[in-house]
Amino acid sequence: MKYLIDSGDTEQIARICDYYPIDGITTNPSIVAKAGKDLKTLITEIRAIIGHEKMLHVQALSETADDIMEEAKRICDFSGENTYVKIPVTVDGIKAIKNLHKKGYKLTGTAIFTPQQAMLAACAGADFVAPYINRLDNISTNGIEIAENIHKMLSDAGLDTEVLAASFSNVEQIHMTAMHGVTALTISPALFDKMLYHPLTINAVHEFIANGSKYYNI
């Protein structure tokens, strides 16, 4: 499983990277706005925390294919190695993915709500496709089922594109998405802690300490 942090909160990114097995960070324009920092400043700060081995997904904000392609170059110039340019799967977005892929860019098709959007992004050359699980659930569509369909379609077609499931609001959505074959998840810092929490684990640890401390003179 690849775990990514969906956040621009640098304190939380540092904390989660310190404690959890993390493969990368995903950001989007709303996450950048929430951080309240200029994109370049934020990305530089995130890179200082995570280095260049971990993936960093940075979204283009432009709307036309030509502008997205220009922006992708600027994003990669300041984001460095192992940067994935996130591009929403609009008509112009798909054209930009297709052309940027030919130039060797690492790409993530984002804001995905249907399997065919994901398939077109994958065929255009996206390395990852990001369906929005909770936003699908919020319109009475089954986000997990859509993610599973995308995963199955990509694997049936023999494509290397990975599903990077995004937009989770609870642990059950994360668990069910993982149960249905998805192997990359981007998760908010608060949900990482919730994934691990169980009162019986805490009780067990307290019990071990109460019983064993006297005998652990090491």
Interface with ligand G3P by CB under 6 A: which range of 11-19, 26-34, 77-85, 173-181?
A: 26-34
Of 1 and 210, CB closest to ligand G3P? 1
Pairing status of strand 24-26 against strand 184-187 = unpaired
Task: Report residue 173 as tokens.
Answer: 């959505």
180 binds ligand G3P per the rule CB under 6 A: no
Site string for ligand G3P, 102-141 (x = CB under 6 A): ------------------------------x-xx------
Q: Tell me whether residue 132 or residue 192 sits nearer to ligand G3P (CB atom).
A: 132
Q: Quick one: DSSP state of residue 132?
A: B
Enclosing H/E stretch for 211? helix 199-212
Say whether 217 sits in a helix, a strand or coil: coil
Residue nearest to ligand G3P (CB): 167
DSSP conformation letters of 171-188: HHHHHHHHHTT--EEEE-
Q: What are phi and psi of 113, to 5 degrees?
A: -125, -10
| Residue 28 sits in the site that holds ligand G3P (CB under 6 A) | yes
Site membership for ligand G3P, residue 166 (CB under 6 A): yes
Give yes or no for a contact between 167 and 141, defined as CB atoms under 8 angstroms apart: no
Tell me which residues are annotated as active site: 86
Interacting stretch for ligand G3P, rule CB under 6 A, among 14-22, 23-31, 44-52, 152-160?
A: 23-31
100 binds ligand G3P (CB under 6 A): no
Catalogue the long-range contacts made by 77-80 (C-beta closer than 8 Å, 24 or more residues apart).
78/40, 78/43, 78/44, 79/43, 79/47, 80/47, 80/52, 80/56
Nearer to ligand G3P, 145 or 207 (CB): 145
Does the protein bind ligand G3P through residue 56 (CB under 6 A)? Answer: no
Tell the smallest beta-carbon distance from residue 116 to ligand G3P (Å): 19
The burial of 28, by beta-carbon neighbours within 10 Å (0-12 exposed, 13-18 middle, 19 or more buried), is given as buried
Binding footprint of ligand G3P on the chain (CB under 6 A): 6, 26, 28, 31, 132, 134-135, 166-167, 186
